[in-house]
């Protein structure tokens, strides 16, 4: 999927996204699952495990986050991210395990806004 070309169906904060799944997974699935969503949140962690570039955004509680699996072309931008930084990410929401999972993610450049 070419994420550049598609606009987000929904804009939401990472805390709200996690909390809506924790409150009612079924209704959150019907709202977000399979949709392109734009998530604003604070960087909790960045990992490069298994050759994936993954950004974790803080959820509304200590145990759950938003896991963003980034496009490979985002690698340089991801390397410059700092924990605690506020960012916006666009991706496809796949659902929730202990965390909300987003695939095909890209950073949305907010510096020139």
| Cβ-based nearer residue to other proteins, 8 or 101 | 101
Vertex 30: Cα angle to 16 and 37 (nearest 5): 50
CB of 68 to other proteins, least distance (A): 10
Name the residue nearer to other proteins (CB basis): 34 or 85. Answer: 34
* Residues near other proteins (CB under 8 A): 1, 29, 33-34, 47, 49-50, 52, 54, 67, 69, 94-95, 97-99, 101, 103
CB nearer to other proteins: give 50 or 111.
50
DSSP-assigned letters across all residues of 55-85: EEEEEEETTEEEEEEE-GGGHHHHHT--TT-
Handedness of CA 111, 54, 65, 11 (dihedral sign): positive
Nearest distance from C-beta of residue 106 to other proteins, angstroms: 16
Contact 92, 36 (CB under 8 A): yes
């Amino acid at each position: 999927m070419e994420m550049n070309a598609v606009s987000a169906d929904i804009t939401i904060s990472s805390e709200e996204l996690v909390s809506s799944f924790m409150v009612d997974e079924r209704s959150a699935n019907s709202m977000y699952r399979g949709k392109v969503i734009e998530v604003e949140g604070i960087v909790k962690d960045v990992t490069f495990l298994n050759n994936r570039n993954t950004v974790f955004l803080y959820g509304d509680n200590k145990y759950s986050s938003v896991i963003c699996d980034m496009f490979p072309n985002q690698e340089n931008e991801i390397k410059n991210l700092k924990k605690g930084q506020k960012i916006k990410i666009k991706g496809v929401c796949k659902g929730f395990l202990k965390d909300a999972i987003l695939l095909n993610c890209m950073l949305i450049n907010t510096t020139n806004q």
